[in-house]
Amino acid sequence: MKSLLIVISIHHNNTGKIAETIAKVLDAQIKKPSQINPEEITEFDLIGFGSGIYDYTTHKALSNLADKLPNVNNKKAFIFSTGGLSNKRKAQKDHSKLREKLESKGYKIVNEFQCKGFNTNSFLKYFGGMNKGRPNDEDHKNAKEFAEKLMQNE
Ligand SMILES: Cc1cc2nc3c(=O)[nH]c(=O)nc-3n(C[C@H](O)[C@H](O)[C@H](O)COP(=O)(O)O)c2cc1C
């Protein structure tokens, strides 16, 4: 299975660190949205879209890229993110815009992952930020298990 991760991680590279853990399991390349030629995506069997959460959603570079992707027929994809806060319901909401775009292009979103990431946005910087040390070992362990499940469901 040939896998690709497309990742934008602009705040503290929190999502970038999670991407590295997932990439190791999947033996995947990691690229930024700006490095993607939309046509090359057809070479891959599984594509992961990763981003920090900024103002309740994934980075617009991912949805802009999704707009440019060619239509596919049930190609497998997954979404992962780090956020200041995180739970399953919130992740579903944070990912909804990107998920809908990808589904409209024919992608099948096989699973989604989110964990907390260090956050010094806005006033938080005056208090040393929130979620210091996140993603932590437990987050990486969960990300690894998430990736292993993706492999099993191949
Ligand atoms: C401008 C900005 C807006 C943010 N908005 C949200 C938000 O709406 N919800 C949330 O859970 N976290 C929010 N955060 C926190 C980030 O999602 C969190 O720190 C994440 O781990 C950043 O990922 P990155 O280091 O990969 O960019 C925001 C951070 C920034 C800088």
State the chain's mean pLDDT as an integer: 96
pLDDT for 92-128, tens place per residue? Answer: 999 999 999 999 999 999 999 999 999 999 988 888 9
Q: Is 115 exposed, middle or buried (0-12, 13-18, 19+ CB in 10 A)?
A: buried
**Nearest atom of ligand 1 to the alpha carbon of 52:** 23
pLDDT for 52-69, tens place per residue? Answer: 999 999 999 999 999 999
Higher pLDDT, 72 or 126: 72
Whether ligand 1 lies within 6 angstroms of the CB of 81 is answered as no
Phi, psi (rounded to 5 degrees) for 32 = -85, 155
CATH of domain 3-152: 3.40.50.360
Both structure tokens of 65: 């890229």
Identify any residues that bridge with 54 across adjacent strands, giving them in sequence order. Answer: 57
Whether ligand 1 lies within 6 angstroms of the CB of 85 is answered as yes
Whether ligand 1 lies within 6 angstroms of the CB of 87 is answered as no
Per-residue confidence (pLDDT) for residue 154, from 0 to 100: 64
pLDDT for 75-89, tens place per residue? Answer: 999 999 999 999 999
Whether ligand 1 lies within 6 angstroms of the CB of 135 is answered as no
Per-residue confidence (pLDDT) for residue 153, from 0 to 100: 73
Angle, helix 60-68 to helix 96-104, in steps of 10 degrees: 10
In the chain, domain spans? 3-152
In a mutational test of the pocket of ligand 1, which residue from 53, 59, 93 has the highest number of ligand atoms less than 8 Å from its CB?
53
Task: Calculate what percentage of the chain has a pLDDT beyond 70.
Answer: 99
